[in-house]
Amino acid sequence: MTNKRILLDHGSGGAASRELIESIFLPRLDNPALAKFEDSAILDLSSTRLAFTTDGYVVDPIFFPGGDIGKLAVHGTINDLAMQGAVPLGLSLALILEEGFPMADLVRLADSIAQASRESGVPVVTGDTKVVPRGKADRIFITTSGVGAVPEGIVLGSNMARPGDAVLLSGFMADHGITIMAARSGLAIQSSIESDTAPLHGLVAALLQEAGSAIRCFRDPTRGGVATVLAEIAEKSGVRIELDEKALPVRPGVATACELLGLDPLYLANEGKCIVIADPGSADSLLSRMRGTPAGRDGVRIGRVVRDDAHPGTGKVILKTAIGGRRIIGPLSGEPLPRIC
């Protein structure tokens, strides 16, 4: 690219748009479906059950310890598919760019997207670029969608937790959320913490292979954190979930930063962690298998599903605290952490 900055013309759909795509994205995201450069890609499926998801990424800052908005978008969409038990087949990439956005940053993001796609084995097969005038967007927003094939026999859902089930978490809480908040606050501690952004489809495939029929659901605790996801599961399944505070994994640096910033790690986003609700009889073997994967090596059991006797059918998450107390954990409310992803 001869231009150092994004021009409005780069979003026109004409020659400058083509030049941008052909010089920056096609070489990095090379695959047969994308190379055809039609407005939609054609993929061959191994299954006729399709998972389909979308997510917009507006994270601020766009580069942060452990990742950037591009890597986050690739991983996030792969993970939304993986949480359904789907094998991710392809991603779409829609960019909204602010006029004047530095071309060097776009190249850096394209490299990062390409690397995340390559390492995950999930190609970007179609895309779109729009440019809005200066001041009409904040640098770059990325929306990724994804399609995946759902293997026969997989039935998962947030409404399927049953009393007795084990609650597993694949690693430390809040890494992504606190990294973003610390970066924005200029907190010096940020050098010791970084985003956990990572793809989870390998972990999911391993667990489904280990004991697929024992698994009720996978959920990744992104916006709203572990608390919000568990509150949703409890509500949809009409059960109570009891968490053991001592078992909740938080890195020391993250715990310190949370205290300094007055944030609760239970409500902070992860971008490479997975909650698994599973039959208790398979919980140990699942945990062991989890720990054998790169994404799940710090996996732990954090609680269990119980009958909601007090308020049957309404769902609730209870934290059993280290000193023996019990605290009700609701979904995130009234404390927005904007632009965390």
Site for a second copy in 114-153 (CB under 8 A): 125-133, 135-138, 141, 143, 145-148, 150
Residue 236 zone, left/alpha/beta (φ > 0; ψ -120 to 50; rest): alpha
Site for a second copy in 51-70 (CB under 8 A): 51-58
Q: Note the helical H segments in 65-102.
A: 69-82
Q: Closest separation between CB of residue 127 and a second copy, Å?
A: 7
Stretch that binds a second copy, among 114-122, 223-231, 274-282, 304-312 (CB under 8 A): 223-231
3-class state of residue 181 by DSSP: helix
Does residue number 330 form part of the binding site for a second copy (CB under 8 A)? yes
Peptide bond connecting 312 to the previous residue in cis, omega within 30 degrees of 0: no
Q: Closest separation between CB of residue 62 and a second copy, Å?
A: 12
Please state, in angstroms and rounded to a whole number, the distance separating the CA atoms of residues 57 and 72: 8
Site for a second copy in 243-262 (CB under 8 A): none
Residue 181 CA neighbour count, 13 Å, CB half: 25
- Applying CB under 8 A, among 1, 26, 50, 206 the residue interacting with a second copy is 50
Q: Closest separation between CB of residue 194 and a second copy, Å?
A: 21
Closer to a second copy by Cβ: residue 275 or 300: 275
Burial class (CB in 10 A: 0-12, 13-18, 19+), 130: middle
Q: Closest separation between CB of residue 183 and a second copy, Å?
A: 16
The answer to whether the CB of 259 falls within 8 A of the CB of 176 is: no
Does residue number 35 form part of the binding site for a second copy (CB under 8 A)? no
Does residue number 334 form part of the binding site for a second copy (CB under 8 A)? yes
